[in-house]
Amino acid sequence: MELLKSEIQPLVESALGSLGVDASLVDRMLQPAREADQGDLSLPCFPFAKTLGMAPAAIAEQVKEAMNDHEAILEVNAVNGYLNIRAHPMWLAGRLLKGDVRHAQGGSRREVLIEHTSANPNGPFHVGRARNAILGDTLVRLHRLWGDSVTAEYYVDDMGKQVAVLAWALENMTTDEVEGLLAEREPASPQWANKADHQRVRWYQAAQLLRKESEKSETIEKTIGELVHASEHGDEAVLASFQDAYQPVLDGMLETLGRLGIVFDRFTKESVFVTNGDVAKLMETLGALEINGVAENGAQFLDLGQRGLKGKTEFFYRRGDGSSLYATRDIAYHQWKWTQCNELINVLGEDHKLQAQQVGLTLEELGGRRPEVMFYSFIKLPEGKMSTRRGNVVFMDDLLEEAHAHAVEVLKERRPDLDTEAMATIAEAVGTSAVRFNIISVSPEKGFTFRWEDALSFEAGSAPFIMYSHTRACSIHRKVMETDADSSEMASMPPIPEATMPDGLVQLLRMLAVHDDRLAKVVREHRPNLYAEYMLQLSTAYNSFYRDCYIIDEGKVNPFYFAVSELARTTLREGMVGLGIVPLETM
RNA sequence: GGGCGUGUAGCACAGCUGGAUAAUGCAUCGGCCUCCUAAGCCGAAGAUCGCGGGUUCGAAUCCUGCCACGCCCGCCA
């Protein structure tokens, strides 16, 4: 709790100093208490035991005695060698209602570029690929909440073999051929008959089969190879035909993401860096580096072993025929990205770790900076690894439909008074929010097993739990506005009563006081799951407050309680926006 | 074989820049709707923190060995 710490650290330092201890350790040792019932801040006294020749418990006791009173402190306790300090709820309430906590976004408003998703536009999102988009978008939102200026960017892979295969298939195969080849596979869901991502992926899959099994595969391979080659040399006509092939697919994918509240500010095409000459210039520069090497056929690589890379150290950036590789273009892309921002974050699957190392080391070799990378591990299904080919897959479109339907069921039970349209709106918000939350609430680096029952859980620990607390606060807001209370009185800062505060109120104040600490850590360390956890705790605290404190009692509004409720309401709302949860006002 | 990551209650997951009784949700058992939305609240039970060593006043957290699982090790993208 930095709010309290900055206020009382000098007190602790002087108390400790009076015992003859170097007080410079205090800044590091004075930390949030582990358990709420211990206090808000605690100072372990063990490190001072040796220099003072005293038992830690005795030191804590003496520091406690030497501490001066302060309005911010309710009590100081010495327990088991720890000095525990509890904030005074009245002081906390005063600071909070004055607006001293809540996204202390002052400071440096950084220009942050976050690249995420960048999935090949060859088929619909399944929940595995969507982890990237959900994590990335949440990172974007949380940085914005913190006050950074953020660009969310999608890197469009518009020139690789995958796009070439798709383009070739669309031009050379009929519907009957495609369906004939895919006869043994699960048919496309009729529900998505009008979504190009679901449709065109059939062509892609059929072509993949043809390439492997058909006796014509050699000629097909040759044609596709020529297309890839042409695209890598910036052939405008070929690139245009590629775009015609993938753009509808990409649009379909973006429609799915849009349903989850995920949008991008900019799309950058990979081919740009080939056609504008950046890649050629880059390869020239790389060729002049002292760690450059040349293979027998003229292909070129960097020996990154000399820069600390372990394992396979040769990093090829140029083929024997002089064309560039994906990684080469990625480096050119990164050089450009650095001209657009002063902080760069990529969201990548764990399979890209080596590649990211290579790109990072190369950028540093060129005198630049490496981007920060948030890696995530893949989502599995209980039946094993997700695979479109084997049909072991959950499409995001299907998951969202299911979540929506489940939410409608719940609503029919709880809110039979609602009309169909209102139900649909609420169900959509509840369903999509629950799906997002299910994925962001676990650490990115942790393998994640997708389970329908978890994704569709609307109880404690889910997005709807948070949404529900928020709607309670909204409901109170509406009711208070309806009373004949003087609205100018409500707008001004209410007097804080001297009476003892109920537990639920104190808990809520403490949670609110810790918001900025948590958001700062989450943004600094790229760990959205910690913010998800905070929102859950804040909601729980609001529920306790709601139980303990009647804001409207027998028709009269308690202005202090109402002010706290309002602060919680806005913090909840902004936090929900930060996580991509829809802040419904009623549900 | 090498590199990186993960291993915490029946299940899922937090805590990992070392600090006090390992947090939370699901599932299980019990209680609370004549009062601001019960998608809620209160309580019970449930953990050799993968296994072995080491460092430390103190280790789930740091070091090390082993085991299990995942990802990577293309002149593919």
Rounded distance in angstroms from the CA atom of residue A377 to the C1' atom of nucleotide B17: 24
Phi-psi region of A371 (alpha: psi -120 to 50; beta: other; left: phi over 0): beta
- Residue A584 CA to residue A432 CA, distance in Å, equals 12
Which candidate, A377, A199, A441, A256, places its Cα nearest to that of A386? A377
For tokens 């211990």, name the residue.
A38
Which nucleotide's C1' atom has the smallest distance to the CA of A558? B36
Contact residues for A118 (Cβ-Cβ < 8 A; gap 6+): A132, A154, A155, A156, A157
Note the CA–C1' distance, A449 to B70, in angstroms. 12
Neighbours of A422 (CB within 10 A): 14
pLDDT on residue A68: 87
Over the stretch A381-415, which tens digit does the pLDDT of each residue have? 887 788 777 778 889 999 999 999 999 999 999 99
pLDDT confidence tier of residue A188, bands split at 50, 70 and 90? confident
Distance CA A471, CA A410 (A): 16
Cα–chain center distance at A23? 38
Give SS3 for A448.
strand
Amino acid at site A212: K
Model pLDDT for residues A237-292, shown as the tens digit of each residue: 999 999 999 999 999 999 999 999 999 999 999 999 999 999 999 999 999 999 99
Find all residues with CB under 8 Å of A219, minimum gap 6, and list them: none
SS (H, E, C) A108-151: CCCEEEEECCCCCCCCCCEHHHHHHHHHHHHHHHHHHHHCCEEE
Ranking A20-29, A70-79, A138-147 by mean pLDDT, the lowest is A20-29
Residues A218, A223, A229, A231, Cα dihedral to 10° = -150
What tens digit of pLDDT does each residue of A452-507 get? 889 999 999 999 999 999 999 999 999 998 876 655 555 567 788 877 889 899 99
Within a 10 A sphere around the Cβ of A330, how many other Cβ atoms?
Answer: 23
Give dist(CA A101, CA A2) in Å, integer: 10
Q: In the prediction, which pLDDT does A108 show?
A: 59
- Side chain identity at A73, as an amino acid letter? I
Whether residue A477 contacts residue A550, with contact meaning beta carbons closer than 8 Å, is answered with no
Å: A179 CA to B60 C1': 54
Q: How far is the CA of A196 from the C1' of B57 (A)?
A: 66
Confidence check: pLDDT of A566 > 90: yes
Nucleotide nearest to A472 (CA to C1'): B37
Asked whether A424 and A219 are in contact (CB, 8 A), the reply is: no
Provide, in whole angstroms, the distance separating residue A570's CA from nucleotide B40's C1': 20
Confidence at residue A217, expressed as pLDDT on a 0 to 100 scale = 78
Say if pTM beats, i.e. exceeds, 0.90.
Answer: yes
Burial A173-196 (b: 16+ CB within 10 A, else e): beeeebeebbeebeebeeebeebb
Looking at residue A489, what is its pLDDT?
Answer: 58
Helix (H, G, I), strand (E, B) or coil at A351: helix
CA of A454 to C1' of B26 (A): 8
Tell me phi and psi for residue A23, to 5 degrees.
-80, 0
Residue nearest to nucleotide B4 (CA to C1'): A353
Query: Which nucleotides of strand B lie under 7 Å from a protein CB?
Result: 1-7, 12-17, 19-21, 24-27, 35-42, 57-58, 69-77
Residue A227 near residue A172, CB atoms below 8 Å: no
Contacts with A143 (C-beta within 8 Å, 6 or more apart), sequence order: A112, A114, A150, A523
> What is the torsional sign of CA A65, A26, A95, A560?
negative
